[in-house]
Amino acid sequence: MTLTTSVHEIGPALGTVLPNFRLADADLRPLSLDHLMGGSGLVLAMITDVWQPTSVRRIVWLRRHISKFALMGTPVALMACNDAGSLYGFQMSSSTPVMFPLLADTDGAVRRAYGMGRSAGLLLIDNDHVLRAKWLVNDDHVWPKMGEITQAIESLMVYA
């Protein structure tokens, strides 16, 4: 599950219980990790600035695959270092609706609590807040292959 050689050294260790958080979405609704969970956990995407070209490609990729995640009972949320107003502007300017929450981690507190720094990545979190899989990506990658993520989610479903 690696696209970089340091995936195990950056971010929380697999099996770590992640702390709950409460962040505003683009519509200023406060959402928590508990609130975002689905039947098979949550895929939490982390990016820095929602307006960066690489981030836009990642959002487009998530939009394209959102129905696959939904069929597996695993919702997606995206956390960015932007404020809620910037996320709202992005959402309103998008030619295609963004069908998952855009979370404003403006001061980066959640990213720091999760040990993610400025890294872009996907975290697969189970309903007990345990990190089950993670993928950290460089700017030359969008996200890992969907099959890899699907396989990790399916393994969660077996143990649920």
For 157, the token pair is 């479903």
Query: Strand 22-25 and strand 30-32: pairing?
Result: antiparallel
Task: Classify 71 as helix, strand or coil.
Answer: helix
Structural domains of the chain ordered from first start: 22-159 (3.40.30.10)
Query: What is the arrangement of strands in the sheet containing 22-25, beginning at the earlier edge strand?
Result: 30-32, 22-25, 102-104, 76-80, 42-46, 120-125, 131-137
pTM of the predicted protein model? 0.90
pLDDT at 5 over 90: no
Q: 68-100: per-residue pLDDT in tens?
A: 999 999 999 999 999 999 999 999 999 889 999
